[in-house]
Amino acid sequence: MIPILDERIQQYLEDLEAKRDPIAIEMEKLAEDLDFPIVGPQLGSLLYILTRSMRAKRVLELGSGFGYSALFFAHAVGPSGRVVLTDTDRSNRARAQEFLSRARLEDRIEFRVGDALELLTSLKGAFDIVFNDIDKEEYPFVPDAAAKLLRPDGLLITDNTLWGGRVADPAQLDEATQGVRRYNELLAADTRYTTVLLPLRDGVSVSLLNGPVG
């Protein structure tokens, strides 16, 4: 693996973290206990900022786990907003509903159990944001699928796009790494989107579905 950030920089960022929602802290503790991947507080804050800044009201998550990222989205969309969560594990739905209910956000969420790419075929746009955190082998299928559901100038946000630095190592040829690498290459060449890849945590790409200017 190739370090994405110097450990001193990472520690500095963590030391700067503001006081957070106690529900988020509890979810972070559960993730640590279960060795379950979550986006973490820094990326969570970015999701919140992006959602609020574009006044997003409809968010679709592809791969929600037990609802950690949804917590940030649900706070940001406000009382009239909606976050659609997807995950293959029913136990994750139960945990998400319990956490988000305690955060008094249950009326802002809808959880669907099943394969995210299959579930989205039954959904109708337009979503303001699609957040992608599914199995990495399936990443290359997401740009086309998201483009059908996003509104013009909507955002496709994807976690783990540096994948522990493995995407920069030509010797890494496992399916997951190749899936993330191919995804990044597809978005870089896709004229429908304007994309920036940020070296935050494990890498996050933010892609704007280009609408008319002016």
210: closest CA among 191, 187, 188, 183? 191
Report, as ranges of residue numbers, the positions in the chain whose pLDDT lies below 50: none
Q: What span, in angstroms and rounded, lies between the C-alpha atoms of 209 and 153?
A: 5
Q: Provide the pLDDT for residue 3.
A: 76
Two tokens, residue 67: 């609802």
Q: Provide the pLDDT for residue 174.
A: 97
pTM: 0.95
183: closest CA among 144, 139, 146, 145? 139
Roughly what angle, to the nearest 10 degrees, separates helices 40-53 and 68-77?
30
Q: Provide the pLDDT for residue 7.
A: 86
Q: How are beta strands 204-209 and 193-198 bridged, if at all? A: antiparallel
DSSP H or E stretch at residue 9? helix 7-16
Give the list of residues 6+ apart from residue 81 with CB closer than 8 angstroms, or none: 56, 57, 58, 59, 74, 108
Domains and CATH numbers, the chain: 7-209 (3.40.50.150)
Q: Provide the pLDDT for residue 28.
A: 95
